[in-house]
Amino acid sequence: MGYLQQFIFFILVALPFMFISPTHSSLANGNVNILPPTNTSDKVTLALYYETLCPYCADFITNDLVKVFLSDLYTIVNLKLVPWGNADILGDEPLCQHGEDECYLNTIHSCVIYYWPDVKKHFDFIRCTEQQSSKKRLVKNRAAMWKQCSEKLGMSAHRINKCYTFGYGLKLLLQYANETAKLKPPHEYVPWVVVDNQPLKDDFENFVKYVCEAYKGADKPEACKTQATSVGSTHDKMANRIHPGCYASEIANLG
């Protein structure tokens, strides 16, 4: 009878550890890897290199990139979001174009992308926070900008905050820094949009066209069949814009 009680006790103690995610436990041990698995399908890789407090990035994410999920375009897209932008590294710490708040939010985004790898899930969070950042004067503090979104989307604010506080988020963010530094050609500004390793530069708002052209699958989604008639005057729009994005050389004026 004593052996049976010991066996039951062992099972009860060991049971919680049987369900720990290897990915998250590896993060706690410092073995961070944000690189996605190799994409072997016909999907087109659409990558956005951005920073959280750049108004051009906020506008693109909330009004343009969302089209991926407002149509069936998502069925052919492998969307990749890289929250580093024009930041630099000073010593061991990131130095962001729009100040400490941007470094903070870049790190929060890194944590959410890691802990909620479903792209629709973390995109909804990122879009929500970008909408909040555009109303910065109406938000009490930087944490409020993302906590409202995590609550709305049912994400654990405790998990996100722990990721930031314990330094896991910084490790993730520095990997995004390394990924951004490897861009060829280097990015000139953000938002910097890349389709299958080809930068779109000033035509980034017209990304749907490039995704559809790059897709080699048999059946193209409806979004590709209708995009030709709905592209609009993107080139005229970009020609009239003094700055198509946030440049590293610019002095941020968040007044």
What pLDDT was estimated at residue 18? 41
Does residue 6 form part of some domain? no
| SS3 label, residue 229 | helix
244 falls within a domain: no
Please answer whether residues 112 and 155 qualify as being in contact, where contact means their C-beta atoms are separated by less than 8 angstroms. Answer: yes
pLDDT, position 144: 85
pLDDT value of residue 227: 73
pLDDT at 233: 41
Asked if residue 253 belongs to a domain, the reply is no
241 in any annotated domain: no
Measure the CA–CA gap between 75 and 215, rounded to whole angstroms: 11
- Domain boundaries, position 211: 44-222
**pTM (2 d.p.):** 0.80
Instruction: Identify the pLDDT of residue 141.
Output: 78
- Residue bearing tokens 């988020």: 169
Residue 7 belongs to a domain: no
Q: What is the bridge-based pairing of β-strands 44-50 and 77-83?
A: parallel
Per-residue CA distances from 250 to 67, 97, 202, 247 (Å): 29, 8, 17, 5
The helix (H) or strand (E) run that includes residue 27 is helix 22-28
Return the pLDDT at 200: 96
Query: What pLDDT score does 243 carry?
Result: 54
Tell me, rounded to whole angstroms, the distance of Cα 205 from its chain centroid: 17
Q: What CATH number did the domain enclosing 210 receive?
A: 3.40.30.10
Q: What confidence score (pLDDT) does residue 33 get? A: 61
**Hey, which residues does 74 pair with through a beta bridge?**
none
Question: Looking at the 3D structure of the chain, how many domains does it have?
Answer: 1
pLDDT along the chain (255 residues), means of 10: 48 40 50 52 94 96 96 97 97 93 96 98 97 66 89 97 97 98 96 97 95 93 78 44 73 45
